[in-house]
Structure 1
Amino acid sequence: SMDNQTSVTEFLLLGFALSPELRLLSFAIFLAIYLFTLLGNMVIIALSQQEASLHTPSHFSFLEICYTSVTVPRLLGDFHHGHRAISFHACITQMYFFFFFGSTEFFLLATMAYDRYLAICHPLRYPVLMDGQACARLAFGSWVSGFLTPFLPTAFISQLPFSGTNHINHFFCDTGPLLRLSTGDTQVANISVFLVSVVVVLSSFLLTLTSYTLIISTICRIPSATGRHKAFSTCTSHLTVVTIFYGTVIFMYVRPGSGRASDMDKMVSIF
């Protein structure tokens, strides 16, 4: 902790309290997962460039590389050499990009759900409705929306005074643990974080839910079991990602009493 009259210039990320042996094992596991994530998404991007209809997955794979790289390299460094200090400006920057890429992921997931809806419910019109220009506009809109979403919460949090303890009970600079360290009035910042989270999550979730409701309705009307299986198999991977991503984010940011940064919150954040 720092003197109560001194402004905090850096924070200490507490991360996970592990023994040296477990830190080494965790480093190896997370490094393997991170490298597999990078390699897998790079392969997807390379393959997507060969087929125009796969450009939306290409955007999603590039986003996954960026989103994962915001937090995991820092976590690997903490596991490897135990240096947990992060400057105030680096902390705010990490928080902004985490929510920039996270919000973009929500919008892209909703876009991909809409894409699946068109492909299954309007297969004959799909090449016209989802041509290259339409894909580019939807992807561009997702990136711009994600870029603008964190501005207000980040601006409010960056202006708060931090002059007490500088220990962040997390493995990255998240809004909840950071707000708990501020010695000023955090009501406006808390409200802005909550409202932005609810708007982004609910708007994309409702679009995704509507798309899948119409998809399931259409699949149920397909006469052959083979046709139903083929139609639904195109959605299973996307639906799995949607379930994991929405479930963990709602638990972290939208549920009552969120932002407490317990050990359970840290584990959920990993997913």
Structure 2
Amino acid sequence: MWDQILLVATMALAGILGGAASYLLSSSQRDSPPVFKDRTFYRTVFIGLVASFLVPVFLQLIASDLIDQTLNAGELAFNKLLIVAGYCLIVAISSRKFIEMITNATLDRVKSTMSSVSDDVAMLKAAHTEGNIEPARAIINESGNATATPDNDAANAAGEMTDVLHAQGIRDSAVIVGAPTASHNKGSQRSPADNAQYQVLKALVGSPYMFRSIDGIKSDAGLPESTVNKTLSQLLDDKLVVQSFSTQGARYNITQSGRERLIQYNSNSNS
């Protein structure tokens, strides 16, 4: 505990001394007021103090473990403490330039990280976005196994999607494309609008793609395009589906509320 206090006190003292040195180096007016009556002196000292406490940030940016070495194993390394004090003294003397440099470097790193994250998100979304021409993909048969198709990646994705749906509690086989269920026989018990919503929601979760095109939904749901468009509009209003846009056009993804509605439809069909 006392070692950390001594380190902080050393940084503070170095910041004050460096700020004072910066003031004396920049003060060239002979008729300037006495040092301790000059507001510029206190302002310069304060800026030096701030710059001194930015040294750990600078060391982090250059991947230096000097602070850890100074407090190695809970014991203060005096020679390392002198190096830290020297760093703090140097940056306090050139505090203004140092603060600008460290601020710009930190912002650049943040922008670079955000750009990298944005690229990763874009790549992930593209990998889960359905194209205008649907590739071959696995169809889940009655035994729950994926039938092999020329598109092995899509087959693997279909298997992963099946696992996700089971994990989320959507265990009714009506959710999986190609599985015959009682809902096909009892679909007439729903109103045409409800049946259309059920088919569209089922098409959204029964695909290896998270973001589906209208053509893909229309193909899996077995509904006319006009009915699919009208149904999607209603689902968007009810927040059961969300819409996003890519270079290939609009894509649709089911929400958690949409999954719950689909479970409700399945429960009503089986009751």
Measured against the shorter chain, the TM-score band is under 0.3
Which one has more relative contact order, counting CA pairs under 8 Å at least 6 apart?
1
The higher radius of gyration belongs to: 2
Larger fraction in helix: 1
